[in-house]
Structure 1
Amino acid sequence: MKLPVTIDPRYHDAVLLDLDGALTSDVPIFGATVDLTRKLRTVGVEVAVYSSSPQCRKALVAAGIDDLFDVCIDGSDGARGTVETPDPT
């Protein structure tokens, strides 16, 4: 059963999408995700994507969808003040 999803720009400033599961070459671009992203941008909701991989922007460019995202946060951003997991030893 599919439930309706409502993203109302009166209540949502932005939407974040997780790219980690889609950073392999054999994963297709999901048309519904691209359509949703375009619709969100049309109504003024900013869209960001994140991934723990430092290849986030490169993957978006390769897929031809880098222009759909206002912000791309990836593993290379971790050096800028992100708290790292301490070494357990």
Structure 2
Amino acid sequence: MSAVEVEHEVTLWLVDDIPARMFYAGRRWRVTDMPTRLRDSIWRAGSSGGGGLYGWRFQGTDEAGESYVFDVYRGEDDWHVHHAYA
């Protein structure tokens, strides 16, 4: 598994406060596993500002069947992809 360092905005749709689908990098992604909540401590090492961040890790599969594992976090106004694992 290789990690890709990214920090791009993403549109994330939640169902019952859990990620269900997203639009990222010009593609539509379905969440195809059970998302794992990432707590504040995971972001401290790689983020400026630190406190109060939370996010999710989940597998997303696009319309062509390509899958990645995404780490996404909630910023002040929107969601961001922090890592994508192929």
TM range (shorter): under 0.3
Higher RCO, 1 vs 2 (CA within 8 Å, ≥6 residues apart): 2
Larger Cα Rg: Structure 1 or Structure 2? 1
Bigger fraction of residues in strand: 2
TM-score by length of 1: 0.26
> How does the TM-score come out when normalised to structure 2?
0.26
